[in-house]
Amino acid sequence: MFDLTNKVVLVTGAASGIGEAIAKTMARAGAFVFAADLDAENGERVAAEIKNAGEKAEFLQLNVAENIDCLRAAQTIYEKFGRLDILVNNAGIGHVGTILQTSAEDLDRLYAVNVRGMFNLTKAFIDKMIERKYGVVINTASIGGVVAIKERLAYCTTKFAVIGFTKCLALDHALEGIRANAICPGRVETPFVKKRISEYPDPEKAYREMASTQAVGRMATPEEIAASVLYLASDEAAFVTGTAFEIDGGFAVGK
């Protein structure tokens, strides 16, 4: 089950955290994975670790907010394989603040990566996916795209947009062989989250408070999120499209 042998996969934001776990999970399932990120050092590390494990990967340096970068990524992949089977739009950035602590520039910065970046990269590949009558697009949203999160105005605004983008993509192209789904993680124990927690006056208290927002009383691991992405990418999910798949440990239960 969940076999991706001979599939060509592009994962953005693959240099750490959820993206790294997705890239490695896809490679273990048999795919050739393009691990894309702005962070060349860690992106190269992830690709090297995949290859050292006997699996297939290549690093692509990519800024999804720049359309020219997305077009170059498509050219590179097409020159090597002539196709892309699975696109995982995982790259994203965050911001803390209410509208009072959020500038227009903050909102534009998040929108450029979290929404327009997803648009740019999907648009670079969608035509050939439609030609082949096959393509899987998986977009990383957030539980903050399903319910509001306090003091995350800009972040939630963009993640709600990701879900809308995903649903429209799925509806418009369902009869052309395209499946599009969004994942909506709750809090995940990534290096980024750990670093943020370490900056609090009382890191242990901050960790407990963040963990307790999930009904199960803990944060997810990146690998748990990646397992759900593997399912959505696989042929076993052939009847699944247009979903906002909540992987939140019960964060949104009752909200």
Superfamily of domain 8-247: NAD(P)-binding Rossmann-like Domain (3.40.50.720)
Per-residue pLDDT reduced to its tens digit, 27-39: 999 999 999 999 9
Query: How far from each other are the two terminal CA atoms of the chain, in whole angstroms?
Result: 34
Q: Is the pLDDT of residue 254 over 80?
A: no
The predicted pLDDT at position 147 comes to 97
Per-residue pLDDT reduced to its tens digit, 90-100: 999 999 999 99
Return d(Cα 26, Cα 51) in angstroms, integer.
13
Q: Which sequence positions are flagged as catalytic?
A: 155
Per-residue pLDDT reduced to its tens digit, 119-174: 999 999 999 999 999 999 999 999 999 999 999 999 999 999 999 999 999 999 99
The predicted pLDDT at position 192 comes to 83
Mean pLDDT across the stretch 237-251? 97
Strands (E), 62-168: 86-89, 135-140
pLDDT higher for 192 or 228? 228
The predicted pLDDT at position 27 comes to 98
The predicted pLDDT at position 189 comes to 93
Q: Is the pLDDT of residue 23 over 80?
A: yes
What burial letters (b/e) apply to 118-132, b meaning 16+ CB within 10 Å?
bbbbbebbbebbeee
Helices vs. strands in the chain: H and E counts, helices first = 9, 7
pLDDT higher for 222 or 253? 222
Return d(Cα 235, Cα 240) in angstroms, integer.
10
Q: Is the pLDDT of residue 114 over 90?
A: yes
The backbone torsions φ and ψ at residue 73, rounded to the nearest 5 degrees and listed phi first, read -60, -45
Q: In this structure, are residues 97 and 119 in contact, taking their beta carbons and an 8 Å threshold?
A: no
Averaged pLDDT of the chain: 96
Taking the domains of the chain in order of start, what are their residue ranges?
8-247
Q: Is the pLDDT of residue 18 over 90?
A: yes
Q: Is the pLDDT of residue 255 over 80?
A: no
Q: In this structure, are residues 52 and 24 in contact, taking their beta carbons and an 8 Å threshold?
A: no
Q: In this structure, are residues 65 and 117 in contact, taking their beta carbons and an 8 Å threshold?
A: yes
pTM for the whole thing?
Answer: 0.96
pLDDT higher for 162 or 207? 162
Return d(Cα 195, Cα 197) in angstroms, integer.
5
pLDDT higher for 253 or 53? 53
The predicted pLDDT at position 84 comes to 98
